Amino acid sequence: MLLEVKGLCVNYGRIEAIRDISFTVNEGEVVTLIGANGAGKTTTMKTVSGLRPVRAGQILFEGKDITSMPSHERPALGISQSPEGRGVFPGMTVDENLDMGTYARADRKSKAVEQDRDRVFALFPRLKERMNQTAGTMSGGEQQMLAMGRALMAKPKLLLLDEPSMGLAPKLIAQIFDIISEINKQGTTVLLVEQNAAQALKRAHRAYILETGEIVRQGTGAELASDDAVKAAYLGGDV
């Protein structure tokens, strides 16, 4: 088991954002968390990446307790995130943004980094075309590609993707999800938070549904996509 979250509780002041949630991510899987706005999805991702403190519960990565580990130490373990809202460095070039993804790597001056850069360019050819362009002048879709590419430059065992399709045109959404599937086929485990439930369930091996900070349903992506209650609540009646 790559990631195990047990009885996790997280607060914003006195407000309980997530309470007593437990889930697992096995090596090689795509696991998705779906739910409405305010369900606790992004809070969960921030907590796994170390950006939110834990009130109660435990986070295990490859069997190691990382509950209290600072966020900047987690990439060295193999956890990398493409955050909600992309979070690129707008005044830096595409190439410089990608280089920032390697900061925690012990081999950042090696040929392996160049190989990983080539992998990112193979997945996102547009980034190679824009290598010397500043990130802040790129389109939303290009910035999303850059955020994902930067996360991949950390050579993660677990890639955290928070709302990768947010604000994108339908054609580009399909492209982004195709790339997520390809990343997984190449051997990277993915934990995905996504409001586009139809695409997320289509790509996921397993899924959890969050409502008001609690996990209320779980199953395979196919099981939840075919469930009438899930269809009505999250898929507009159909996938």
| Element at 178 (helix H, strand E) | helix 170-185
Q: What CATH number matches the domain at 1-71+157-166+189-239, 3.40.250.10, 3.40.50.300, 3.90.228.20, 3.20.20.70?
A: 3.40.50.300
Q: Please give the model's pTM, rounded to 2 decimal places.
A: 0.94
The stretch 172-176 carries a mean pLDDT of: 92
Position 237 pLDDT exceeds 90: no
Dihedral angle over CA of 146, 153, 54, 42, nearest 10: 20
- Identify whether the C-beta of residue 72 lies closer than 8 Å to the C-beta of residue 24: no
pLDDT, mean of residues 225-235? 92
pLDDT band (50, 70, 90) for residue 238:
very low
User: Band of the pLDDT at 239, cuts 50, 70, 90?
Assistant: very low
pLDDT of residue 235: 84
* pLDDT for residue 85: 82
List all residues 6 or more positions away from 41 whose beta carbon is below 8 Å from its beta carbon: 33, 34, 35, 162, 193, 210
Q: What is the pLDDT of residues 126-173, one digit of tens each?
A: 999 999 999 999 999 999 999 999 999 999 999 999 999 988 988 899
What is the per-residue pLDDT for 145?
94
Note the residue count of the chain.
239
- Residues β-bridged to residue 33: 193, 208
Residue 84 has a pLDDT of 85
Domain boundaries, the chain: 1-71+157-166+189-239, 79-155
Residue 236 confidence class, pLDDT cut points 50, 70, 90:
confident
Q: What's the DSSP call for residue 55?
A: S
